[in-house]
Structure 1
Amino acid sequence: MFDFADPLPARRPSLTPMIDVVFLLLVFFMLVSQVGREGGLPLSAAGAGAPYQGPPRLVGIAPGAITLNGRPVALDRLAEALSPLTEGPADAILLRTTDGATLQHLTDVTDALTAAGFARLVLVE
């Protein structure tokens, strides 16, 4: 008749492959996740919030120049030129870019204005 061999003892499943997959997923999500918001521009869209009141404070950002109310001004003198037109840091400053202006140029202007203490920057078309 049939002669069966003795049954083998049951093997315990290895957890090593599962642990490897879990560590790979952990590393993946650590690398992909956004840790913090770095480099955010503090801008609001035109028409949001209270209507604009006060003297004109329009900063034009062109590829080669910056203007304040249509007059050319250097980036390092922009905050000084804006101070007579504002009553405090909560006053709105309108930023308008022209065709060809880069995002880096807009970032430089917003960095200079926030460093000078201006908190409400509004981007208009």
Structure 2
Amino acid sequence: MRPERARRRRRAIALTPLIDVIFILLLFFLLTSTFTRYGELPVSAASAGTGEGEASPVFLGLGVETLALNGTPQSLEALAEALAGLRPDPEASLPVLVAIEPGVTSQRLVDLLSRLRPLDWASVTVLD
């Protein structure tokens, strides 16, 4: 005689522990994430002129792999020195106009703006 096997009835999955785990994970990710902004760069858009300024503006053309200072090719590393040489007066600020060519990534623009940020005497304006 064969003993009859007890049929196991399939139990339904309890959702309460699953909801608890999801809630704990949600709390974990909310509490461990940061909501601060890293490396904010102040950017001013071009606006209408107010007349003649103290110094004539310098034009920077930002390409995908090129950078031109008043039409002459320039490296990103030597840009600060080149801009310092164009200041007419060490006390005056130097307006810098940045024109972006099509196809330039935002990271390339951020790299340029981060190089210009320490130059407190340069007023940078990004053209549309």
Q: What is the rounded CA distance, in whole Å, between the counterparts of 1:49 and 1:24 in structure 2?
A: 54
Map of 2:38 onto structure 1: 38
Aligned-residue RMSD, C-alpha = 3.3
State TM-score, norm by structure 2. 0.63
Structure with higher helix content: 1
Which position in structure 2 is the counterpart of 1:121? Answer: 124
| TM-score between the two structures when normalised by the length of structure 1 | 0.64
The CA deviation at 1:108 is 1.2
**Percent identical residues:** 32
- Alpha-carbon contact 1:56-1:85 (below 8 Å) kept: no
> 2:86: which partner in 1?
85
Aligned 1:1-125 pairs, distance under 5 A: 26-31=27-32, 34=35, 36-47=36-47, 53=53, 54-86=55-87, 87-88=90-91, 90-118=93-121, 120-125=123-128
Unaligned regions of 5+ residues in structure 1, if any? 1-19
Count residues with an aligned counterpart. 109
CA distance in 1 between counterparts of 2:42 and 2:71 reads 23
* Gap change, CA 1:89 and 1:108, over 3 Å in 2: farther
Q: Are the structure 2 counterparts of residues 22 and 50 from structure 1 closer, same or farther at C-alpha, using a change threshold of 3 Å? A: farther
Query: Kindly tell me: are residues 65 and 115 of structure 1, through their superposed partners in 2, closer, same or farther at Cα, counting changes over 3 Å?
Result: same
| Contact 2:67 2:74 survives alignment (8 Å) | yes
